[in-house]
Structure 1
């Protein structure tokens, strides 16, 4: 975390990249992992009468992605505030 008035672009970029990599990892696990790779294991559980792997591939991942957008925006705002580059 930077001190106010002392902007460190390298620290800001590292924090931003760390958040981006975390977001991409979650996106990959949910879309490719739950929808394709782990589908057979998830199909043992049923949600609303449908196998969980099918549910993730068809609509569950969309709910996760929308939540991921809000989570990313909140975390990015925190990074901006910590590095004193936020907008009012």
Structure 2
């Protein structure tokens, strides 16, 4: 092999990088902010409770939904870049 990646390989490499990045963000918000860093965030009030509790109850869900829209938007860009749009 000449060391050059085919378009299909480049597409899937970019797709997997996007998935991995999204999972890292989701894990950080869900587990990091909601569980591991909760004591550090306890002193920051938001909506009648502390920020750590908010991340555990609402923030991870909001982040997950935002990641779904971000992933769809970014995949549309990748599809156009590689000529795979609908």
TM-score, normalization by structure 2 = 0.89
Q: CA RMSD in A?
A: 1.0
TM-score, length-scaled by structure 1? 0.87
Q: What aligned pairs does 1:9-48 form with structure 2 within 5 A after superposition?
A: 9-48=8-47
Asked which structure has the greater RCO (Cα within 8 Å, sep 6+), the reply is 1
Structure 1 ranges of 4+ moved more than 2 A: none
* 2:80 counterpart residue number: 81
- Extract unaligned runs of 5+ from structure 1: 1-6
Unaligned runs of 5+ in 2: 1-5
Q: Report how many aligned residue pairs link the two structures.
A: 81
Give CA-to-partner distance per residue, 1:21-80, whole Å, 9 cap, x none: 100001100101111011010111010110100011011211111111101100011011
